[in-house]
């Protein structure tokens, strides 16, 4: 049985994020969907906090601090039964980075975003997530309380194997 300390630590970070002063606009979101390693799917869930947008100089870009915790369920695939690492571990991902938007609030394209996060993993190693550190790239669309996104998590080939996880997520959120 694995230690639950990483999970408790990640939940403490999210609780801290949720308790920040009301002056800071924060969007809290719960996301779920399917994650794929090669063509093998599994369930994935995330909780994410996106903080108030900040302008990037005089440009039309804004960035927002972005933190998340996620869970990717392990798989039972015979092809990888004797592999080390395998694919059966359930992986927890804790990540922090920035979400980027372009345009003003009324522009049709402003709800589109790109985010980049640096992540740590807990719960084991898999063919897809083989190191304790990973990079998270997300391309998505968020309109008020709903988001759709495609997310890829990988270690950038710093450690092999590096199959990565690519997922389609739907999110429901609210502003605090």
Could you tell me the CATH number of the domain that includes residue 43? 2.40.160.20
Can you give the residue range of the structural domain that contains 55?
5-175
Number of domain units in the chain: 1
DSSP calls for the chain: ---SHHHHHHHHHHHHHHTS-TTS-EEEEEEEEEEEETTEEEEEEEEEEEE--EE-TTSSEEEEEEEEEEEE-----GGGTT-SS-S---EEEEEEEEEEEES-TTSTTTTEEEEEEEEEEES---SSS-SSEEEEEEEEEEETTEEEEEEEEE-TTSSS----EEEEEEEEEEE-
Mean pLDDT, residues 121-149 taken together: 95
Q: List, for residues 31-80, the tens digit of each pLDDT value.
A: 999 999 999 999 999 999 999 999 999 999 999 999 999 999 999 999 99
Q: List, for residues 7-27, the tens digit of each pLDDT value.
A: 555 555 555 555 544 446 899
């Amino acid at each position: 049985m694995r230690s639950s300390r990483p999970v408790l630590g990640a939940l403490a970070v999210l609780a801290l994020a949720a308790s920040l002063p009301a002056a800071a606009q924060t969007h809290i979101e719960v996301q779920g969907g399917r994650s794929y390693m090669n063509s093998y799917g599994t369930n994935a869930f995330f909780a994410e906090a996106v903080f108030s947008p900040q302008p990037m100089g005089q440009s039309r870009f804004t960035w927002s601090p972005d933190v998340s915790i996620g869970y990717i369920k392990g798989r039972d695939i015979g092809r990888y039964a004797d592999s080390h690492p395998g694919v059966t571990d359930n992986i927890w991902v804790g990540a922090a980075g920035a979400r980027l938007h372009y345009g003003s609030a009324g522009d049709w394209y402003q709800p589109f975003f790109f985010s980049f996060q640096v992540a740590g993993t807990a719960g084991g190693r898999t063919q897809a997530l083989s190191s304790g550190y990973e990079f998270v790239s997300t391309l998505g669309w968020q309109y008020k309380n709903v988001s759709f996104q495609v997310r890829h998590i990988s270690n950038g080939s710093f450690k092999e194997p590096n199959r990565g996880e690519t997922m389609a997520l739907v999110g429901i959120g609210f502003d605090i």
